[in-house]
Amino acid sequence: MSDFEIIRRELALRLAPPRRLPVEPERIPQAAVALILREAQGLAEALIIKRAERPGDHWSGHLALPGGRAQIEDADLIATATRETYEEVGIDLSDGEFIGQLDLLIPNNPRLPRLEIAPFVAIAPTEFTLNLNSEVARAFWVSIADLKREGRSTHFSMRLGDVINKWPAYHSEGGPIWGITERILTNFLSLLD
């Protein structure tokens, strides 16, 4: 049995099923992201994007998962994740499979906008072509086994005023994966033996 199939079985036992969470702009601004898995030579990999550098974007240049803010036209937050993923990287998740949902997150940095983020786990369709839009500078795949084995083995540092802050991060070819994406990956990896 491949690493990918072992991970799928573990997730089937431990991952909360995807729920059709409503878009509720009057309650709180919402977003949805997709942790997209694929099988590559028997191994499980996850898609990571590097957001384009854009003035006014609080997550400009960060490594992230495809996704974005909910729109009132979205039927639910799975529809948000599907739409945003297609817009950003060209993967049509309506041809894939949503296999679960991770815990809702709210950024705990007072410098960031108030936002509730719904992370969904999806399996990439069998065939797709990455087609990055202007919001995405780069996309690459990371090995789930490597993330699990190496853990949060690095950190990300940023100067805020006179203080240099450090956050735990996962190492990747695109740089440190930290912040909200690190929190989502840590939650996801905790489900795997």
CATH number of 3-149+180-189: 3.90.79.10, 3.40.50.2020, 3.30.230.70, 3.40.50.2300?
3.90.79.10
Query: What is d(CA 81, CA 66) in angstroms, rounded to the nearest whole number?
Result: 8
3-state secondary structure of 41: coil
Q: Which residues contact 3 (CB under 8 A, 6 or more apart)?
A: 42, 43, 44, 144, 145
The CA distances from residue 6 to 86, 185, 192, in Å, are 28, 18, 9
- Strand (E) or helix (H) holding 168: strand 163-169
- pTM equals 0.92
Output the pLDDT for position 158.
67
User: How confident is the prediction for the chain on average, in pLDDT?
Assistant: 91
Output the pLDDT for position 53.
80
Which residue carries 């709180």 as its tokens?
A: 28
Which band of pLDDT confidence, cut at 50, 70 and 90, is reported for residue 151? confident
pLDDT (tens digit per residue) in 31-46:
999 999 999 999 999 9
pLDDT (tens digit per residue) in 69-101:
999 999 999 999 999 999 999 999 997 799 999
Q: How many CB atoms lie within 10 A of CB 192?
A: 16
List strand residue ranges (DSSP E) for 102-143, in order.
116-123, 136-143
Angle 63-99-52 (CA atoms, 0-180°, nearest 5)?
A: 20
In the chain, what are the domain boundaries? 3-149+180-189
